[in-house]
Amino acid sequence: MLNDDREQFRGDARRRLLLVGGCLGGAFAVLCGRLFFLQVMRGGQYRTLAEDNRISLKPISAPRGRIFDRENRILVDNSPNFEVVVTPELAGTLRYLLRRLGRFIDLSEDEVKLLLQQARRQRSFLPLRVKSHLTWEEVSGIEVRIHEFPGVDLQSQTVRSYPFDSLASHVLGYLGEPSDADRKRFPKLSFRSGDLVGKSGVEQHFETTLRGREGVLEMEVNAVGRHVRELHRTPPQAGNDLLLSLDADLQKEGQEALGDNTGAIVVMDPNNGEILALVSNPTYDPNQFMRRMTHAQWQELVTDPNRPLSNKPIQGQYPPGSTFKIVVALAGLAAGKLDPRESVFCGGSLIQGDQHFYCWRRQGHGSVGLVQAITQSCDVYFYKLAERLGIDAIERQARKMGLGAVTGVDLGGERPGLIPSRSWKRKMFKSGWFPGETMITGIGQGYVLTTPLQMASMISTVANGGTVYRPSLLRLQPGQKPDVMSQNTFSSHHLAVLRQALEAVVNDPLGTGNKARLDGEIRVAGKTGTSQVARHKREKSGKLIKTTNEKLQDHAMFVCYAPVEHPKIAISVVVEHGGHGGATAAPLAKRVMESFFSKRDGPVG
């Protein structure tokens, strides 16, 4: 009986194993059949699909933030732009494709070479921008033949536009393709072919604010580059807008006032450091850079002797001339070495050792005190005052007022100017400081250099009572406090005497700045300056020998604020090779002030 049970067990086990084996064999046969069908019968079809259908990642550019003036007028906008792009890995022979495209769009051989270089520097699946700003004829010519150009796509993008053309171009800046320096400047940004980045001005300084975050479109494409279907879309994020402190009306008035003259005008609010206008002339049109500027156009800009790409309010360094007498006067008052009532005789010149130091008025000014010396800009008075003070006291006061250092304005490329000192001269020339150098510094000549923005900040400091604000191009928001760089502690009596003198410069019949006087009740305080470009030649009698070389003519300067009682505006003007500040620069300041006050209060006078 036991043997019968064992035999039955063995029989059941064999049947189960046969059943399981049969099932496994059947399943394996089905799997083999399916594999044979897929790999052999349909293998070619699926191989084609695997090779020809790919996922293309198409970046979606993000609009840059717009830029507005203080009254919400658009200074920089984005406008639609048609462009043609190509994905190199889908294009076959890229060189051949680009040359064929050149029959329908303006594409030179040099541009083809440049595009081929760009394609080698990036991944082949990333699109390459071939040309922007296509005309309707170019768009239609490619659109009807798009099937003949594998990997080519027509796109509608936004492009930077500057609706006021050259207005405030040095403030706004322009865009260009990123260089190695840009990649170092913005290490957190990933640039691809065809990207644009701020190259100067606000566009550069606020690049990370204005620049949006691009989106991505995932598309399935076939062998000839045609889109099969959209897989996923990540929308772009637009950049942030900027509200500037600039007043477009004042900016325009300043540019028109300079006309064909080379120079700069800076207009500030002396009570918070906001820049209302920052004019540099000659100017340029930033729209040029968005239309793929030619080499000839670029060479014309960079070789122009008047330097249209230079932002003169922050990069132009000029001897301040007699406008610097404000600093010297404050240094003398602060040091207790200047009594405003003390008279000094000016006979037209001063002898120091074997050197003659001349006053601008050959016959002299006679006996003058501080108020008269500033009103009539007597050089001899300030020669003697500087000699009494010494260079150290002058340097200290100048630096307290923000001179000799960058102001920290929201722009790149600012230059610091120069306030000379004993240590500076030893370092630069391996020489000691001489008394005659102090005297010439006293009238803003010699080694002294300032920028127009620094001089606007300096006169603002006098206007507001001693506060040096960091100049700002962004409009302050309600409740936001201005950035204070330093604070001068002026005696109220000393400040009153200086302001009296500056008011007389414009309003006294003998004042050198009469041409800045406004009609009506608004009174202006200011100071003229004549900045020497080259050392003047004189006859033995001391008479000035005038030069006919325009490039050796003096620069004309003027600084001012108004109204005297409660200043609302401060201005500095530099006209290169413009001659006397009172004759050339002061009238330009008057024109800007008239525009400012007529806009605020109605017509002046």
pLDDT-wise least confident of 221-225, 233-237, 412-416, 427-431: 221-225
Confidence class for position 165, pLDDT limits 50, 70, 90: very high
Given a cut of 60, whether residue 44 has pLDDT beyond it is: no
State the pLDDT at residue 32: 76
State the pLDDT at residue 471: 98
The average pLDDT across 520-538 equals: 85
State the pLDDT at residue 227: 62
Confidence class for position 547, pLDDT limits 50, 70, 90: low
**Nearest in space to 223 (alpha carbons), one of 481, 463, 50:** 50
Dihedral, 113, 118, 120, 123 alpha carbons, nearest 10: -150
The average pLDDT across 574-595 equals: 96
Dihedral, 386, 388, 389, 390 alpha carbons, nearest 10: 80
State the pLDDT at residue 605: 57
Given a cut of 90, whether residue 456 has pLDDT beyond it is: yes
> How many whole angstroms separate alpha carbon 203 and alpha carbon 212?
13
Q: Tell me: the pLDDT tens digits for 271-291?
A: 999 999 999 999 999 998 887
Are 268 and 254 in contact by the 8 Å Cβ rule? The answer is: no
> How many whole angstroms separate alpha carbon 158 and alpha carbon 78?
6
State the pLDDT at residue 41: 63
State the pLDDT at residue 577: 94
For the domain covering 55-243, report its CATH number: 3.90.1310.10
CB atoms under 10 Å from CB of 40, counted, come to: 9
Query: Which residue carries 């260009």 as its tokens?
Result: 176
State the pLDDT at residue 190: 79
State the pLDDT at residue 240: 96
**What percent of the chain stands above pLDDT 70?**
90
Q: Tell me: the pLDDT tens digits for 55-82?
A: 777 777 788 999 999 999 999 999 887 8
Topology adopted by domain 248-284+312-601: Beta-lactamase (3.40.710)
What DSSP letter does each residue of 518-582 carry, written as one string? Answer: PSSS---EEEEEEE-SSPPEE-TT--EE----GGGSPEEEEEEEE-SSS--EEEEEEETT---II
Are 481 and 468 in contact by the 8 Å Cβ rule? The answer is: no
Please state, rounded to an integer, the average pLDDT across all residues of the chain.
88
Question: Token pair for residue 457?
Answer: 């900040």
What is the set of active-site residues? 322
End-to-end CA distance of the chain: 136
Confidence class for position 18, pLDDT limits 50, 70, 90: confident
Given a cut of 90, whether residue 20 has pLDDT beyond it is: no
State the pLDDT at residue 602: 66
Element (H, E) at 54: strand 54-60
Given a cut of 90, whether residue 480 has pLDDT beyond it is: yes
pLDDT-wise least confident of 2-6, 464-468, 560-564, 572-576: 2-6
Query: Which residue carries 């606020």 as its tokens?
Result: 206
The average pLDDT across 455-476 equals: 97
> How many whole angstroms separate alpha carbon 245 and alpha carbon 266?
13
Given a cut of 80, whether residue 34 has pLDDT beyond it is: no
Q: Tell me: the pLDDT tens digits for 91-133?
A: 888 888 888 888 888 888 888 888 888 888 887 777 888 887 7
The residue length of the chain stands at 605
State the pLDDT at residue 141: 85
Q: Going by C-beta distance under 8 Å and a sequence separation of 6 or more, which residues neighbour residue 391?
A: 420, 421, 422, 433, 437, 438, 441
3-state SS class at 280: strand
Question: Token pair for residue 74?
Answer: 């658009």
The average pLDDT across 240-251 equals: 97
Confidence class for position 384, pLDDT limits 50, 70, 90: very high
The pair phi, psi for residue 155, each rounded to 5°, is -130, 150
3-state SS class at 122: coil
Domains of the chain, by residue range, sit at: 55-243, 248-284+312-601
Confidence class for position 4, pLDDT limits 50, 70, 90: low
3-state helix, strand, coil in the chain (%, to 5): 40, 20, 40
Confidence class for position 591, pLDDT limits 50, 70, 90: very high
